[in-house]
Chains A and B, each alone.
Chain A
């Protein structure tokens, strides 16, 4: 059996973990959807080459032209036809001051309908970029104008909200960095880096096709075998000795949850989706679910070469064992010249952001009351191959709370959103997904309980994202959170019950959905209507 550079078996229709065979009954099957790859009629040689992301600093009232288009992207020597915003992967990093409002003139030059969603921003509902809810999809060749305001400092991102499983995976994502007017908002750092983490599924040096009519890989989401930082397989950074680097991390992968670290380098977590933590904390690694952001500060005290790694415990479902996996995403090289200024003393201090705590205090009297709504996270399937159904019935003897990689790629590949229906179910009414009737008054504080059922056909973690609002994770399985931060995306492990407090301050129709792109494509979404 041959293996490529990622240790994947090569004589299969899709990459399989080393030593794994396709199950009898699945050999020869293909997903029941037509294959799709972008620009199938376009010769990559005639396309512009993708360029690295550029920072675009915009002032209040400025306008940006943003085009989603086809590009030729070369990764590890192989050129693929992919997508990019303004020819850049990631798309331009839009940097603005908190409180600014900008206009974005979007042009769709790809071969699918598209939109732009401004992830995490509490912006006007009409610019949220959700097809069928806040706007019509933008046809190929079409245009749409967004008015984007930035009420909160922090790191955000933008991406399409149409067939994210394809468009996001192939390069349509970019960061939004919103600066606070407070120069002391973060502790001092010598440098800032925005890292967008993604993966790409390739085999025999070609992209694995996507489902044209519906997403494939619907059970677990598409988990790539090429791990990318800012679209590249090897991240590089040169710093001086003693530098404090502030990393703005964004997970733009369809399904992968990361566990990032820089062995030998102290790190602290200072902020997440919609602002800073109450208290900074030292961390050994950073767990980052799809669509989540974390702001990390690291100090490189000694000269040397330090890897940025993703270290996880994969589940080998055939052998019934955990397999440690370490992927090196890049290297940080620390020179011998001491940095000036030296922020060692301020880095050594963990800040307590009393202003964050004071603002959250306004909501504490709501923490202990009963939930306003309880949603169960589950799945229904029909028409999957019999072998898949039988294998899963055995495999569900145990489910890991978080699956870090795809341990059953052939079954996952063969499952599409036509057979797999991911569900948000209202405990009170039994209504599911868009049938859930959920209206709240603007200014209400809503307590939402999410229960990720452990006994469904395929229990799996879900990163749940709420558009246009902010929320606090009050507790997990009854244990209160002791260091709060405003979030827009929260990871719900298998079998967990998580209580959220939503600050429903922003009027409009807002989606709540799983941010595993294939789960969203398989129906796992509802709408919260916030009415004045």
Chain B
């Protein structure tokens, strides 16, 4: 694990200035831009996170991970049949190490409420699949994105400090 040397962090902060990264982040902790995959370069989309219903307003798991309902708004999605032997576009949630894949739901042009995500940091991947009940991701990627919490990263690996940790 890389730990920032205090002096290096100080130099970085001085170089950063007070407004250097304004606008680089996701804007709010709720917005999640999606990028087109190579199989569907014209696809556009974004995900909106909202706390899942909870009597407490703030939905969390027993171990404290936030639980978000995921709404995906997309356009220019291809007909999955044009990408191969596929019939649906499915959203998946996976942590950054890709260790587990949680099937969410079907994505269509327009807005789709696809399910609940509860990893601290996660990727959303929309793939073409044979049907909506598959348990394993197999088809080509149409859209993908990183949760806003992905912007939380070690300072010396932050784009601001790229190259300073060597």
Contacts and interface: CB of A to CB of B under 8 A. Distances in A.
Interface of A: 19, 21-25, 257, 259, 261, 263, 269, 272, 277, 281, 283-289, 294, 311-313, 315, 317-322, 324-326, 387, 389-391, 393-394, 396-402, 404, 454-455, 473, 476-477, 479, 482-483, 485, 490-491, 493-496, 498
Nearest to B154: A320
9 contacts: A272-B55, A284-B61, A284-B62, A287-B54, A287-B60, A320-B154, A393-B18, A399-B29, A491-B56
Contacts of B152: 315, 317, 320-322, 397-398, 400
B56 A287 contact: yes
Contacts of A394: 13, 16, 20-21, 155, 158, 160
A369 to B, nearest CB: 22
Given A320-B153, A397-B24, A313 B63 contact: yes
Interface stretch (B3-11, B75-83, B136-144): B3-11
Contact of A491 (B22, B57, B66, B155): B57
Given A393-B21, A398-B148, A495 B154 contact: no
Contact of B13 (A317, A320, A390, A490): A390
A403 B6 CA distance: 24
A494 B10 CA distance: 28
B64 A312 contact: yes
Given A19-B3, A23-B10, A319 B154 contact: yes
Interface in B119-166: 120-121, 148-155, 157-158, 160
B110 interface: no
A22 B7 CA distance: 11
Contact of A322 (B7, B25, B60, B120): B120
Interface string B1-45: 101101101100110111111101111111000000000000000
A393 B15 CA distance: 12
Nearest to B50: A477
Nearest to A288: B56
A164 B117 CA distance: 37
A21 to B, nearest CB: 5
7 A-B pairs with least C-beta separation = A24-B10, A398-B151, A320-B153, A495-B28, A287-B56, A397-B25, A312-B64
A287 B21 CA distance: 33
B28 A21 contact: no
A13 B64 CA distance: 29
B57 A473 contact: yes
A459 B111 CA distance: 28
A320 B157 contact: yes
B96 to A, nearest CB: 10
Given A393-B21, A455-B27, 5 more contacts: A259-B60, A394-B21, A398-B26, A479-B50, A485-B55
Contacts of A281: 55
B53 interface: yes
Given A23-B9, A24-B7, A396 B18 contact: no
Contacts of A317: 152
A397 B158 contact: yes
A398 B24 contact: no
Nearest to B53: A482
